[in-house]
Amino acid sequence: MHRRDVLRLATGLAAAPLLRPATAQDASPRWTTAAPASLARQELYPEVLDGKIYVAGGLLSPNTGYSAHLEAYDPATDRWTRLATLPEARHHIALAAAGGLLYGVGGFSGGFPNWQAQASVHVYDPAADRWRDGVALPAPGAEGVAAAVAGKIYLVGGRLRGTADARHFNAHVNTARALVFDPAAGRWSAIADAPTARNSAASAVIDGRLYVVGGRQALPQPDGTLRQVNVPQLEVYDPASDRWTTRAPMPQAQGGLAAAAWGGRLYVFGGEQWVPEQKVFADCWVYTPRTDQWAALPPLPTRRHGLGAATVGNRIHVFGGGTRVGGDAATDVHEVLVLG
């Protein structure tokens, strides 16, 4: 384990800019509801492919259960469809689409607290409704963010095994590791590490750049437990230069949140906090890269963490998640932020 992969504490954060409420120029965003998912689950990292939203794996309630379930939501019909199950049940598995295929990257096996990060990558072909084995990660990882840019898949952060056979939630460490997968070459390669080691962050792609926001760090304590501390950082990766830049932090640090992009802006939803007090957030925010400023949005109708978010057209679909801190109380709720 490289030293750089061990926990990096957030220090010297820039002060958040003054906030303004969402205004008329934000097209008066409003919440509505859509068909609930067919399964209540949390710790979701969805992806959009050909106008449909795909969700795989996830934690069930109680959190000793986890799923191999794959389903797709079609906004045109407001219906969820069950598809071929993952070859192996996973939670915190990250999805990214490239070349008409869906890649399920890493994730944990095992119910709480017996989590074990995995290196496996599974590739789903929607036309055949079939999974196949993909090129495995260089090392097992979970709770990172994945996204596709220009046909390549980027994986950032999350947690790695602290030992080769780590089989417990506490036996994993935060990482700033960043990788890229080139489907044409069939291999994973290292890119510049992210500035912040963290897990349970969220991400979206805007103008060919990967935005990574929020999340938390699991800090080991003398008694062997972990202290879960949220981080507010927003960091942007440019694949053209292999460089990271740090932008204005979130107004409020939220871990286990969801993010999506629309109209050149970053939208962020929900999450949870463990310290100094336990809470689940309904708070939502929008970030404008041009001005490097955040603004408040109407809160989630149902406060949640470990939820998924995905944009189709002028609507951001926000679904699943847990309504209480931790791995229980998964929901199938599906709420939609209407924009434009």
- DSSP code string of 295-323: EE-PPPSS--BS-EEEEETTEEEEE--BS
Beta strands at 226-230 and 234-238: parallel, antiparallel or unpaired: unpaired
- As a whole number of angstroms, the distance between CA 267 and CA 330 comes to 22
Establish if 25 belongs to a structural domain.
no
Report how many domains make up the chain.
1
Write the CB contacts of 50 (distance below 8 Å, at least 6 apart in sequence): 100, 126
Specify if 24 maps to a domain. no
* Beta-bridge partner residues of 299: none
pLDDT at 11 over 60: no
CA–CA distance from 144 to each of 8, 95, 214 (Å)? 15, 10, 12
CA nearest neighbour of 337 among 292, 295, 287, 286: 286
Do the domain assignments include residue 66?
A: yes
Q: Is residue 12 part of a domain?
A: no
The percent of residues above 70 in pLDDT, for the chain, comes to 92
Return the SS3 of 111.
coil
Confidence of residue 27 (pLDDT cuts 50, 70, 90): low
19 within a domain of the structure (yes/no) = no
**pLDDT tens column, 134-159:** 999 999 999 999 999 999 999 999 99
Residue 21 lies in a domain: no
Tokens of 289: 């890269």
Q: Over the stretch 105-136, which tens digit does the pLDDT of each residue have?
A: 999 999 999 999 999 999 999 999 999 999 99
Domain that holds residue 304: 3-7+32-338
Give the whole-angstrom CA distance, residue 86 versus residue 54: 12
User: Is residue 327 a part of any domain in this protein?
Assistant: yes
Query: What confidence score (pLDDT) does residue 72 get?
Result: 98
DSSP E strands in 127-215: the ranges are 130-133, 141-142, 145-149, 152-156, 159-161, 172-174, 178-182, 187-190, 202-206, 209-213
* Phi, psi values for residue 272, rounded to 5°: -140, 170
Q: Could you tell me the pTM of the whole model?
A: 0.92
Q: What is the largest CA-CA distance in the chain?
A: 54
Nearest to 212 by CA among 169, 281, 174, 268: 268
Look up the CATH number of the domain holding residue 105: 2.120.10.80
Q: Is residue 107 part of a domain?
A: yes
Over residues 210-224, the pLDDT tens digits come to: 999 999 999 989 988
In terms of C-beta density within 10 A (0-12 exposed, 13-18 middle, 19 or more buried), how is residue 224 classed? Answer: exposed
